[in-house]
Structure 1
Amino acid sequence: MGIFSRFSDIINSNINSLLDKAEDPEKMVRLIIQEMEETLVEVRTVSAKAIADKKELLRRKQWLADQSDAWELKAELAIKKEREDLAKGALAERLKFINDGVGVEAELEAIEEGLQSLEGEITQLQQKIAEAKARQKSLVARQKTASSKLKVRMVLQGGSVEETLSKLEGYERKLDELEGRAESMDLGKKSLSEEIEQLAKNDEVEAQLAALKKRVESKSQETK
């Protein structure tokens, strides 16, 4: 397939439509980008050659113009020397260079048109590549999301989560039992703070008991 035929196919293609029909869109978009980038390199190579040809023709055009001017000066000199025959010969040579210059000018116009066309095609191709790369990023992101969802669902449906939670519940039950045993060993034991508080309460009770005894004795004496 020729470069310009390939280029036309790429430019006229609907990337989204191609990807929607593909069995493996991510692989397809990679192939599309590769094809377009290879075509872009080829188009730029053609453009570079056209630019080189243009520069060469411009140099030739200038050389032909210089030669035409030189023969015109020779014709003028011949006329001044009254050598009309030599003047005619010089003008004939000048005409050859003028005609060659016209041909070169036509070639330059054709090359310039071709370069403008290539410039437009390169712009279109770059836009297509950008479009394909943007779609590629979207596909990669969607694939990662889908893969993550699939892994989560496989884990949930596989029962491993329930099994793990069940094991954790068993561990928690064992810890509860251990903590219960530790706490049971401390039952009946009082801390230093609790014993000191108990002493204070005992003193208060003794004081209240003594006061009660005094009141009872006082009432007993009053009744005698």
Structure 2
Amino acid sequence: MSLLERVGTLLRANLNELVEKAEDPEKLLKQIVLDMENQLMQLKTQVAIAIADQHLLEKKRGEQERETADWRRKAELAVGKGQDDMARAALERSLSHEALEKGFASQVVDQRQEAEHLRQALGKLEQKLSETRARAEMLVAEHRRARAVGRAAEARRVAGIDKAHAVERMQSKVHARSAESEAASEVLAQESLEERFRTLESEDRVELLLQEIKSRMEERQAAVG
């Protein structure tokens, strides 16, 4: 179970029901508070890591953006010197960095969303922990007055159901991963042809950019003349 799934389980927990089914309500509530505190510490760490990763991705995107612009300038310089081969090579490099920049930009968006989800979960867990601490003593007292024969048997029955559900969830995950692996194999089988088309498109873009640079430089020379 992932960290967010564990936090979600704690957030959905109904303290009244848990206390009613527990053999030792006081011990149970202490354990719930302890679990929440542990998950809270882990969640704070994950939030910090997510934000740091976001900043790193943003930095890498900026680096690729600067590299793209730098190689475009070099291509213009080569055209000015009549070195079309060097200009083409520079434009190919610029397109490569441009693709990397777009990839990092997409990752930044995903990472920003993940960090926001973690922050929201952290806020909810902090609130839940505060409420749980405040209500723990009251619920223990109420249970001591209202506890009846048969609660322990019911708790064991529910625990068995929970275990069965856990097994079902694990089986579902295994099936899902198997399906993902099959899909990935199908995608990889198509990559060779797609890569060839991407190469052709890249060459066309290089030639187009080269002509654009030449046209701009001719216009500049005509304006000066």
- For the superposition of Structure 1 and Structure 2, which TM-score range results when normalised by the shorter chain? 0.5 to 0.7
Question: What is aligned with 2:208?
Answer: none
Structure 1 residue 46 displacement after superposition = 1.5
| Higher RCO by CA contacts (8 Å cutoff, separation 6 or greater) | 2
Question: What is aligned with 2:87?
Answer: 87
SS of residue matched to 1:121: helix
Question: What is aligned with 2:30?
Answer: 30
In the alignment, the residues of structure 1 paired with residue 73 and residue 15 of structure 2 have an alpha-carbon distance, to the nearest angstrom, of 63
TM-score normalised per structure 2 = 0.59
Question: What is aligned with 2:212?
Answer: none
- Pick which of 8-17 and 90-99 moved more: 8-17
The unaligned stretches of length 5 or more in structure 1 are 147-224
Structure 1 residue 137 displacement after superposition = 4.1
Structure 1 residue 95 displacement after superposition = 0.5
Structure 1 residue 103 displacement after superposition = 0.7
Question: What is aligned with 1:220?
Answer: none
Question: What is aligned with 1:118?
Answer: 118
In the alignment, the residues of structure 2 paired with residue 79 and residue 137 of structure 1 have an alpha-carbon distance, to the nearest angstrom, of 79
Residue by residue over 1:130-160, the C-alpha shift from the partner in whole angstroms, topping out at 9 and shown as x without a partner, is 11111124357x49xx9xxxxxxxxxxxxxx
In the alignment, the residues of structure 1 paired with residue 25 and residue 32 of structure 2 have an alpha-carbon distance, to the nearest angstrom, of 10
The correspondence of residues 10-21 of structure 1 with structure 2, limited to 5 A, is 10-21=10-21
Residue by residue over 1:44-78, the C-alpha shift from the partner in whole angstroms, topping out at 9 and shown as x without a partner, is 21111111111111111111111111101101111
Question: Is this contact kept in 1: 2:54–2:108, CA < 8 A?
Answer: yes
The correspondence of residues 58-69 of structure 1 with structure 2, limited to 5 A, is 58-69=58-69
Matched to 2:66, the amino acid is: D
In the alignment, the residues of structure 1 paired with residue 20 and residue 127 of structure 2 have an alpha-carbon distance, to the nearest angstrom, of 20
Matched to 2:96, the amino acid is: K
The correspondence of residues 55-204 of structure 1 with structure 2, limited to 5 A, is 55-139=55-139, 142=141
- List 4+ stretches of structure 1 deviating above 6 A: none
Structure 1 residue 37 displacement after superposition = 1.0
Matched to 1:131, the amino acid is: E
Percent identity between the two aligned chains:
31
In the alignment, the residues of structure 2 paired with residue 132 and residue 8 of structure 1 have an alpha-carbon distance, to the nearest angstrom, of 15
Matched to 1:44, the amino acid is: K
In the alignment, the residues of structure 2 paired with residue 95 and residue 2 of structure 1 have an alpha-carbon distance, to the nearest angstrom, of 38
In the alignment, the residues of structure 1 paired with residue 16 and residue 127 of structure 2 have an alpha-carbon distance, to the nearest angstrom, of 14
TM-score normalised per structure 1 = 0.59
Count, aligned residues: 143
In the alignment, the residues of structure 1 paired with residue 18 and residue 88 of structure 2 have an alpha-carbon distance, to the nearest angstrom, of 69
SS of residue matched to 1:76: helix
- Pick which of 65-74 and 23-32 moved more: 23-32
Matched to 1:4, the amino acid is: L
Question: Is this contact kept in 1: 2:4–2:121, CA < 8 A?
Answer: no
Structure 1 residue 98 displacement after superposition = 0.5
In the alignment, the residues of structure 1 paired with residue 2 and residue 124 of structure 2 have an alpha-carbon distance, to the nearest angstrom, of 18
Question: What is aligned with 1:40?
Answer: 40
- Pick which of 130-139 and 56-65 moved more: 130-139
